[in-house]
Amino acid sequence: MEEPIHRLVLWNIDLTLVDVGRVTRAAYADAFAAVTGRPLVRLPQTAGRTESEMFFDALALNEADSSAPVEEVLGEFSRELASAFRARRSLLTEQGRLLPGALAAVAEVGGLPGVVQTLLTGAIKPNAIEKLQAFALDRFFDTEIGGYGSEVFPKGALLLNARGRAAEKYGVEFAAEATVYIADSARDVAAAQIGGAWSVAVASGRSSAAELRDAGADVVLADLADTASVVRAVEWLTAAAATG
């Protein structure tokens, strides 16, 4: 008999599973210029942040503050960004790459008893799905319940929202000890703490292993190349939930 779902594993995408920064930056610049009429000269900090957070920082950094209502200008930017990214779909595998061990890691974690996997990413939802599809990762995730940069919330709040959607869909209350966030930045570690989840931090992004440990990550890995280590981390962190 198949074990009922009781564990929720959320994954960051950029610099955790894939590196498509070149394509993302080009699409971002196009969308920013289309919405503001100004070139994107100065880039905001990106690690562990959502598209909405980055956009408003970019407005200030590039002296392109808009007088339009916040919801209106952000909505327009999100539409332009999705369009610009979709137009570069074929470049994702040409100019980007799947990070070492990513495919095996999501496949093996997704195969653990009682696990459902979703996303917690700063990317807007259409672009997140484009990235997964480009590298044949989409089949491992329930993208309906994830947290995305399309929402005007920081990642800690997005994690809480995703847990709520997962609980509603699967009829299970995913406790903190049954929830794991796998990501690559110190800000992601903080998001896990705020949202009530274990954190598996991967030093494949801009945060070093030491920085991730200092941020309070529960497990720190150099990368996803050692599939067994990724699986062990998830099983160890959620052991109490599995037996309880």
Lowest mean pLDDT among 49-58, 108-117, 224-233: 49-58
What is the Cα gyration radius of the chain?
18
Which pTM value belongs to this model? 0.91
The pLDDT value given to residue 33: 86
Rounded Cα distance between 76 and 66, Å, is 12
Domain 7-19+97-243: CATH architecture, name and number where available: 3-Layer(aba) Sandwich (3.40)
Task: Render pLDDT for 174-189 as a digit per residue (tens, 0 to 9).
Answer: 999 999 999 999 999 9
pLDDT digits (tens, 9 = 90+) for 149-208: 888 778 899 999 999 999 999 999 999 999 999 999 999 999 999 999 999 999 999 899
**Band of pLDDT at residue 37, cut at 50, 70 and 90:** confident
Delimit the domains of the chain by residue range.
7-19+97-243, 21-92
pLDDT at 47 over 80: no
Q: Which of 224, 173, 163, 172 is nearest to 197 (CA)?
A: 163
pLDDT, residue 241, reads 73
Contact 138, 132 (CB under 8 A): yes
Cα–Cα distances in angstroms (integers) from residue 128 to residues 139, 148, 241, in the given order: 13, 8, 29
Does the pLDDT value for residue 6 go beyond 70?
yes
